[in-house]
């Protein structure tokens, strides 16, 4: 990990000092353990702060939106797929983007780690090749990295970047062996009443902070539907209908675009599992229209395309 981080810093310094890009967007070490955050290096000195660890959970594609000038982005599989999405949605030009590609080792879910140490404060996490050494006051434990991966990383099928101008480190295996179809759309087996109950259970702690929306590289609308006031499509309350409206519509807006990067779940302060909704759509899009978002530049998004023989048995 540290070796990769070092190479990212070198690449960033080179790009910035040669004036190839105006900014390098990467990750920097959080002020508390396991909370790496997006970092913008504008000078070679600032590039020293870039890092690469098991906790790079933000999707950096988000920060390219409406950013003038040339930018370099540190991109693992999912981030590169979202970059491709944005290029296909005409948000910026491929020429303005320099992709520093990295194979993703799969990111670790800080909640799963914290759950091992209930009520205790973790003060340091040291990266080892296959393990993490977790330290706090009066305890120290070595844990196996791959047992604590985020659930979306377990079923990822594209860990290498789909586009890159420069590859840091070697390409690695594409997946972790998890099969998305075993976990996607977990409520499909249930009857309607149970599904509704599960939805309520999943969303009951949502505080409508919209961190999930703000972390998502698909959500770049100037005015989001939840902020529209006249007419107000989505009420501002904690009422179950309002909360459900927000989550259903947000998920729907991601249809044919969501790369299952998991940034939304990682950003949520309440630990809401909104991928239970987005994974259903991802699966439908794959099964109905044979499409995986962000895999190739120039692909037409499935929602702005139709075929005469699209399924329509549901229409009378």
Partner 1 sequence: MSDNAEFSPRIAAFLCNWCSYGAADLAGVSRLQYPPNIQVIRIPCTGRMSPKFILAAFRKGVDGVWVSG
Partner 2 sequence: MFARRRFAVLKNLLEYVGIEPGRLHFSWISSAEAEKFQKTVAAVTEAVKALGPAQHMIKDIRKVA
List residues near partner 2 by CB under 8 A: 185, 187-188, 192-199, 235, 237-239, 241-242, 244-245, 248, 251-252, 255-256, 277, 280-281, 284-285, 288-289, 302-306, 310-312, 314-316
Q: Cα(238)–Cα(242) distance, rounded to whole angstroms?
A: 7
Kindly tell me the sign of the dihedral angle through the C-alpha atoms of 278, 284, 287, 290: negative
- DSSP run (H or E) holding 143: strand 139-144
Distances (CA, A) of 82 to 91, 92, 101, 274, 294: 11, 12, 13, 18, 6
Q: In sequence order, what DSSP letters do the residues of 149-165 get, joined into one string?
A: B-HHHHT-S--S-SS-S
| Closer residue to ligand SF4, CB minimum distance, 9 or 253 | 253
Which of 79, 125 has the CB closer to ligand SF4?
79
Q: How many residues bind ligand SF4 (CB under 6 A)?
A: 32
CA distance 247 to 242: 9
Choose which of 237, 270, 287, 305 interacts with ligand SF4 (CB under 6 A). Answer: 270
CA distances, 76 to each of 102, 134, 153 (Å): 5, 25, 11
Question: Quick one: 116 or 197, whose CB is closer to partner 2?
Answer: 197
Query: 242, 280, 292, 301: which one contacts partner 1 (CB under 8 A)?
Result: 242
Residue 276 binding ligand SF4, by CB under 6 A = no
The piece of 37-45, 129-137, 159-167, 233-241 that touches partner 1 (CB under 8 A) is: 233-241
DSSP codes, 76-142: -HHHHHHHHHHHHTTSS-GGGEEEEEE-----B-HHHHHHHSTT--EEEEEE-SSEEEEEETTEEEE
Neighbour-count burial for 133-172, b at 16+ CB within 10 Å, e otherwise? ebbeeeeeeebebeebbbbbbbbbebbbbbbbbebbeeee
187 contact, one of partner 2, partner 1, ligand SF4, none, CB 5-8 Å limit per kind: partner 2
168 makes contact with ligand SF4 (CB under 6 A):
no
Residue 25 φ/ψ, nearest 5 degrees: -100, 120
Residue 146's alpha-carbon distances to 102, 112, 131, in angstroms, are 18, 11, 8
- Under the criterion CB under 8 A, does residue 195 sit at the interface with partner 1? no
Residue 121 or 232 with smaller CB distance to partner 2? 232
By beta-carbon proximity to partner 1, the closer residue of 169 and 301 is 301
Residue 224 contact, options partner 2, ligand SF4, partner 1, none, Cβ 5-8 Å cut-off depending on partner type = ligand SF4
Give the Cα-Cα-Cα angle 106, 109, 113 (nearest 5 degrees): 125
- Token output for 132: 């993490």
Minimum distance, C-beta of residue 241 to partner 1, in the bound complex (Å): 5
Residue with tokens 């309520």: 200
Q: How far is the CB of 166 from partner 2 (least distance, A)?
A: 37
The token duo for 215 is 């972390």
Shortest Å distance, C-beta 51 to partner 2 = 38
Find tokens 């910026």 and name the residue: 92
Residues 47-66 that bind ligand SF4 (CB under 6 A): 59
**Interaction pattern, residues 80-119, with ligand SF4; x per rule: CB under 6 A:** ----------------------------------------
Least gap, CB of 281 to partner 1 (angstroms): 12
Using CB under 6 A as the binding rule, the residues of this chain from 199 to 258 that contact ligand SF4 are: 206-213, 215-216, 218-219, 221, 224-225, 250, 253-254, 258
Q: Which residues bind partner 1 (CB under 8 A)?
A: 225, 231, 233-235, 241-242, 245, 248-249, 252
């Amino acid at each position: 990990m540290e070796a990769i981080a070092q190479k990212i810093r070198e690449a960033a310094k080179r790009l910035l000092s040669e004036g190839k890009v105006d900014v390098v967007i990467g990750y920097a070490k959080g002020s508390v353990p396991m909370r790496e955050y997006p970092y913008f290096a504008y000078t070679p000195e600032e590039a020293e702060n870039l890092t690469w660890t098991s906790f790079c959970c933000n999707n950096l594609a988000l920060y390219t939106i409406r950013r003038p000038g040339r930018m370099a982005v540190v991109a693992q599989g999912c981030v590169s797929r979202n970059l491709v999405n944005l290029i296909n949605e005409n948000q910026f030009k491929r020429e303005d983007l320099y992709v520093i590609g990295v194979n993703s080792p799969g990111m670790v879910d800080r909640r799963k780690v914290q759950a091992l140490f209930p009520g205790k404060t973790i003060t340091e996490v040291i990266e080892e090749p296959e393990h993490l050494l977790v330290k706090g006051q009066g305890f120290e434990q070595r844990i196996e990295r791959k047992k604590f991966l985020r659930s979306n990383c377990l079923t990822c099928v594209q860990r290498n970047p789909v586009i890159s101008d420069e590859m840091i480190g070697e390409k690695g295996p594409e997946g972790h062996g998890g099969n998305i179809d075993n976990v996607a759309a977990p409520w499909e087996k249930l009857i309607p009443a149970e599904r509704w109950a599960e939805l309520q259970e999943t969303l009951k702690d949502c505080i409508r902070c919209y961190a999930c929306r703000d972390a998502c590289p698909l959500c770049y609308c100037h005015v989001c539907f939840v902020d529209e006031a006249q007419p107000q499509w989505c009420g501002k309350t904690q009422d179950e209908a309002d909360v459900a409206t927000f989550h259903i519509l947000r998920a729907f807006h991601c249809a044919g675009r969501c790369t299952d990067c998991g940034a939304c779940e990682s950003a949520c302060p309440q630990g809401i599992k909104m991928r239970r909704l987005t994974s259903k759509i991802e699966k439908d899009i794959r099964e109905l229209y044979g499409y995986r978002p962000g895999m190739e530049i120039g692909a037409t998004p499935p929602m702005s395309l139709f075929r005469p023989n699209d399924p329509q048995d549901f229409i009378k």
